[in-house]
Structure 1
Amino acid sequence: MFKLLIVDDEKIVIDAVSFIINKEFKEIIEAVSAKSGREAIEKCQSFNPDIVLMDIRMPGINGIDAINEIKKTQSNIVFIIVSAYEQFEYAKEAIGLGVNDYILKPIIKNNLVDTLENIIKRLNREREKRQLDLQNIENYQSLIPFVEHGFIYSILLGESYAAKAAKYKEILGISEPGGYIMILESSINETQADFNEMLEQGDEHRYYKMIRDTFKYKCKCLVGTLMINRMVVFISGNYTKEYEGRVKAYDIATYVVDKLKDYSNEFKLSIGIGSYKSIKNISSSYEEALRALHYKDKGITHIKDITVDVENITEYPKDQENRLIEMIMNTDEQGAFDAFNKIYIWVYKNYKNLHKDGKWKLMELMLNIDRVLFDFTSKDEDKNYFFNMNNIEDYFTLESLCRKRIIHVIKNIGEFQKKKINRVILNAKLYIDENFSDEITLEGVSKVVCVSPQYFSRLFKEETCQNFIEYLTKVRIDRAKQLMKSSSLSIKEICFKTGYTDPNYFSHIFKKTEKLTPSEYIKNCNKG
């Protein structure tokens, strides 16, 4: 439904236009009227029309002045001016105000109907566009948490994921060169089991949203997903003065803890804060935040305030984690275990007396491995094994569970790759079988199945034990033999129907394959 305001000082004009509107646009336009420019201005405020049909010459405030005044507060209204020929100078002034539609007096029904129909079409398009824009904004806002999760993971995975992190940075509009990591950990009544029970009762989403909203209100940041009871937050900025940046970080952490305590006094909250790093090196800020998180097992701690005893922890072997992921992607189990062993030895050595932190380090490693599986298969794995890991109290059982998980992920990726390869070859063979009579090339088929020609050539050979040309030739010759047996076509016609353009070459290939010339083969078929 659209709203129309009819403005004219002549009642007969208002009545005539109202009659046309009621007859032609009864279910589409709601119309009211005004008899002066002043009344039109007032009616626009209360009625809020989409369209105004404005007479130019009226006593008092004329149509041009009324339009000028209305547009100061309601710029989206579409104006149609109504005037006589001798008022053309007024019309030119109206056009200068952005009025696009003009109707001459006396008003002709068809002219008015056509003008309104065109305006309604335009307004409908604009409404649809606005709705689409709003829907896109809404969709984007709903996707932002997932994009933020992806960014958090990408920066924690290290330099080999720099290109991915740069893309996330562009999407999220991050202009700052770096920032720092905060890790928030929650528990209830000193027991992790109670916290897990709370999440299982369905409060996880509400709790995550509350933390996210609290951080977002206080600072410019990206918030990662809630992993059981721990959340990673990246706070962007450009802190040239280390001490001021540290004070600001404490202020943010204190605000978040106080707000969450308002939510429930049952929560025990700890926050570890890493130092400022460039985006390229932000994973080291995460390592620092992890070290700070359970320093003396309480409160808010910044890595720069920790005494030298924690600094004895050596740098995490990120290169081995990258190698582990690479080996998993290549389904190289032996290489994956070699890299995992180096990581496990580092965890055991550096967190031998900090079992909780060491366990979390292994759990985060498994989460990164799970992301590799998801990137391959888009399969959301059951995360119950995270809770199982969390309940394990010795390193050796944790090591065994991690190894089983690595085997599981490699197996799933291998099966997915095998299915993908089978699908590529199946689609290629289907395409060849259906198009063998046309001019067909390896490059053309590889494009159809969306792989490079070099890879397709090698893959086809590995999967079918024959190269592309051998398979294509077999398909064509088999079809030629069928035609020789079941039709009276000439050899030349069969040649063209099976994708060959030169009968002599066709005869040569046929004899090489069947040890008979086409004529000899047809003769033998007729004997039978």
Structure 2
Amino acid sequence: VSMGIGISVNKLENLSKSYDSAAKILKYRYTKGSGVIFDCEKLRPVENPMELERNLKDIASAVRGRDKELLEDILNHIEERIKAGYVTRNRTVAYLQQVLRILHEIVYETNENFKLQDSDVSGITEARSLTEAMKLIRNYAKAGMEAVSEAGYSSGELQAIMAMDYIKENYSNPDLSLNQICSYLSISTSRFSSIFKEATGKTFMEVLTNVRMERAKQLLRQTSLKNYEIAERVGFSDPHYFSIAFKKMTGKTPKEYAREI
């Protein structure tokens, strides 16, 4: 049995407001579980959507790194954070479906036989509690890790994939360097340079510059930002050097490219 305690009221005609608040707070049984007393007047912690968003990126890194323990820790953390906050059922379901999709997307990169069935998604929607939904998530994650293992990627190839992911997330940092990414991967610069060139056919700087230029072209096509603003957004502290690098790669200055578009 779960119980909801409504807000205190001073007048009989406001009693319905107390009832409504008690009924409303009982909706959190999905995430909090049954057998709980919910008091409307107790301070309720606010959920942190940015933290949950960070968890999605951590899931991708754990799967690419084939780190089962890390993935389990992340899923445990997600469940604990949702339980700690007052998150509605609808928002919880939507978020957990995002977790399913990111799991599928990352596993599919290495094993195209791994599927996300309609029943996997609907199972989250139909689950009667957060605990039940998380059980489905963990089963899907386990199957995903097994599918990644079957793909048989070498550790070097996985590190190259993780490096590409890191570059795409951090290209806007003008200080992003080979040493920084090697520190992230816990690998020597010489070893990294070797496996990265073998996996991508390009050096770290060539890939980084390409990612930055592609993003710059997108901003030139879709926004009216000035050159120095675009340069800053794609990781160039010097707008003049950005223009030189852009022309070297595309054959046009940023202004010429924007004018043609």
TM-score range, shorter chain: 0.3 to 0.5
- Structure number with the higher strand fraction is 1
Larger Rg: 1
- Bigger RCO (CA 8 Å, 6+ sep): 2
- TM (normalized to structure 1)? 0.21
- Structure number with the higher helix fraction is 2
- TM (normalized to structure 2)? 0.41
